[in-house]
Structure 1
């Protein structure tokens, strides 16, 4: 069965994958930002121009499997084109051959079960060669040729591939390339139509997203039932009491366990268990959407981490201040970073019905003014049911029954009864039939989110990035030249309101992007020190 190629804005060191391709050169130096993917004991000779990996090439091979026993395996790929004579003349075809060789090597590694129960293996890689490699100044041309190579490998080997990009101009350009091609998404017609509708809503600022526990389960975090089991194990209850917990509603089981553990230990457990960590592909796909309002019942920080890794600083409500133009995420049931805010037990849910009215009111407002996309939720949460009912009543005119659907629920499997129950409020769209594999249904949901992201990405984010000049048509080139003149006339320290507005527009169009962002080692070129997390390097 053919795999799928995802294009996602994320930090490859934090995205949950089975295999990761790490760019290097013949001296086996890697950019500092990639070292988190490699065992500490293999990193030697740390220098500003790149850290050396204690391995060696055999002959003219270009791919090395990094030893390790974890779930994720790293592979070093030679992407710095020195040319056969050291002149760097082998070009893009040499880079593409390296990608093919690396993916074929990955396919030869036997994997019994993909990471975290995913239906297919996920192989993550950056845009190889666009940092210090052979395509540093021609990113657009490389993307046009790299994406078909990745699709061929996914079709041949049956695994999924995630092309992971960090810069907005890279993501916008890659999505433009994909929009011009056919057959990139193996989805039935009704899901393609749905993606088109939701993508259009997102572009127009009409879409909000509700994120449920199913999204974070893909990152290895517990569902309600699993959380109760983990708390029971921690509490030390005897077998009879633990068996009785299974017969209680989850909120009541949590209340008993909270009493057994004590408030302090429960708070410490929530803070540790739901703290920062690797995020799932779905987190990154959701964070990439051009959406300003997010709501979740999850305690973890994975959506805001994924958003921050592509430069979107998300305000977390109610703890942060909402600011104009800044996306925000409402933690409806609390935040692990603030354990005292977590809603877990029956008593806390009952109290939320009274004291959480202000938070619930935010979701009321979104259901009235936006189209809400529900992802990863079973729609069984008492608070969610209450909020939807209140909105339904508000929308009905007296005696006229004019309630409308205020959102779309992406369900994994068909459930006609639940869809009928919610049909007055939202449209429920199932990814797969009821007898399909839940893992395959979850993967199809990721593919759908990938298509929504492609169709909703603004098509202008690379307009002023010189590395993508080759993608522009004649009209776009004329506009880019005119706007480059505006950029040249704008003072670098513009402080006026008009100057700041113009500078913001130019940044959104790709002005100021650097062609080298650390995806490849510098091959001897000195660079300035930088923050490891940004994976950003610039020539000295």
Structure 2
């Protein structure tokens, strides 16, 4: 049973997965950004640039399992090429590491995922053996990862942080047109949604199913956890299941008290590791996001690739910048959380402005619904209001306003919503829910691949080898334009526009790249590599 290779922008220290490959060298020094994956008792020496791991190689091996407890197994992989052995040596190390990962028995992937997920950075492109050859590495590494996924049956996430890296990797995958085990109907859907995203016509609605993959509770599970804290006797707890969810929540809120309820929500839905789906969604070239979730995982995933989302209604929306509307409140503002029947009713009153944002998107965008069953009262009300506004005697039938990606086929629910949205099921019959959720991830991966602008690395010297003759001529002409931009270009509107375009095409990225990261990546890159061991202090002992 073959696995899948995902390409995603993320921070590997925060991405939920089973195994993580950490680049190092013979001195076992790793970049400081990997520190969170290492047990404290294995840190022998530390400074702001790196950490020495208190382990030792045995002979010529290149892979070491990091001892410790926890949901993720870290592996150290030697990627520093002191002897000029080239990319073949680096790729052999990747094969050796993935084979070692496969030998570790995993009875159940993290959070019930259908397959193990193995995360790794673009090995060797920071301080390692592929520095300055990022394009060559990606072209040769992707087939190696696919071979390993096919052979071992696990999924692989190639995690990249720089815009040039993502654009180049997606161009390579588009050129091969392989690696997506999806039926033709879903491939066609991915092409349509990718085109909408490229044109700025797509918006995202994110439901609780997305965050469940990061270990957060669904609505029913949340009520169960609250009931466990409430102190209600068994008869009352059994009766909760017979009430509508909002009424169950109202009773629990009364028993717990509003302060305890808010404290629980703030703690349970606070910052933490995000799921692969969060990262895939945050990578999409979409400007408008709406969610009924309380957690901050989408905005964390976006921030890790340099996309700062304004969270509405708490932040101010900025022209030209992406935003995320928290329709049912935010755990960081627990007083805003919508949970009980009374709070739901207020959405049609004091919170009507928030609903109006989704109204607007359904009228002006194509909304992609992910991780929702479309049973939420607010969604039903909003869809009905939009339908009422656009339908009437003598009016032409309008196109559907969105697409719902459902895990399983539900003919009755699809028929119920067919006037408003198209419902597309990931599975039919007896397909396990976890496998259907994995297929949804693969679909999101393909949408991301098809919607990523293909020019994001055009002016990045690290990818010059990927350009054809016409592209090289164009890149040289644009570099001349960049050289002629006046000092203080940001103060001149025309020059600022040209400068912004050149940056989107990759100008200036390699010059600022350090530790395998693009200068625009912000914080230290968790996909980074240790620099040449000879420049670092040796591990004690």
- What interval of TM-score do these two structures reach, taking the shorter chain for normalisation? over 0.9
Match of 1:358 among 349, 353, 358: 353
Alignment deviations for residues 221-277 of structure 1 (CA, whole Å, 9 cap, x no partner): 110110001111112222221111111111111101111111111111111111110
Alignment deviations for residues 150-175 of structure 1 (CA, whole Å, 9 cap, x no partner): 00000000000000000011000000
Give the secondary-structure state (helix, strand or coil) at the position aligned to 1:76: strand
| Structure 1 residue 338, shift from structure 2 partner | 0.8
| Structure 1 residue 401, shift from structure 2 partner | 5.8
| Structure 1 residue 340, shift from structure 2 partner | 1.1
Q: Which residue of 1 aligns with 2:176?
A: 181
Q: Which residue of 2 aligns with 1:291?
A: 286
| Structure 1 residue 499, shift from structure 2 partner | 2.5
Q: Distance in 1 between matches of 2:296 and 2:426?
A: 26
Q: Which residue of 2 aligns with 1:497?
A: 493
Give the secondary-structure state (helix, strand or coil) at the position aligned to 2:349: helix
Distance 1:514 1:137, change over 3 A: same
| Structure 1 residue 110, shift from structure 2 partner | 0.1
Alignment deviations for residues 76-122 of structure 1 (CA, whole Å, 9 cap, x no partner): 00000012xxxxx1000000000000000000000000000000000
Moved runs in structure 1, 4+ residues, more than 4 A? Answer: 530-540
Q: Which residue of 2 aligns with 1:164?
A: 159
Of 279-288 and 256-265, more deviation after overlay is shown by 256-265
Q: Which residue of 1 aligns with 2:515?
A: 518
Q: Which residue of 1 aligns with 2:503?
A: 507
Q: Distance in 2 between matches of 1:371 and 1:218?
A: 25
Q: Which residue of 1 aligns with 2:538?
A: none
Contact 1:296/1:329 (<8 A) preserved: yes
Q: Distance in 1 between matches of 2:338 and 2:49?
A: 48
Matches within 5 A, 1:190-339: 190-339=185-334
Give the secondary-structure state (helix, strand or coil) at the position aligned to 2:372: coil
Distance 1:305 1:225, change over 3 A: same
| Structure 1 residue 399, shift from structure 2 partner | 4.2
Contact 1:288/1:453 (<8 A) preserved: yes
RMSD after superposition: 1.6
Of 149-158 and 329-338, more deviation after overlay is shown by 329-338
Give the secondary-structure state (helix, strand or coil) at the position aligned to 1:284: helix
Q: Which residue of 2 aligns with 1:523?
A: none
TM-score by length of 1: 0.95
Q: Which residue of 2 aligns with 1:527?
A: none
TM-score by length of 2: 0.95
Of 401-410 and 450-459, more deviation after overlay is shown by 401-410
Distance 1:260 1:323, change over 3 A: same
Distance 1:53 1:433, change over 3 A: same
Q: Distance in 2 between matches of 1:168 and 1:142?
A: 16
| Structure 1 residue 532, shift from structure 2 partner | 4.4
Q: Which residue of 1 aligns with 2:72?
A: 72
Q: Distance in 2 between matches of 1:11 and 1:235?
A: 37
Q: Distance in 2 between matches of 1:489 and 1:37?
A: 45
The answer to whether structure 1 residue 459 and structure 2 residue 424 are counterparts is no
Contact 1:284/1:307 (<8 A) preserved: yes
Of 114-123 and 482-491, more deviation after overlay is shown by 482-491
Matches within 5 A, 1:63-142: 63-83=63-83, 89-142=84-137
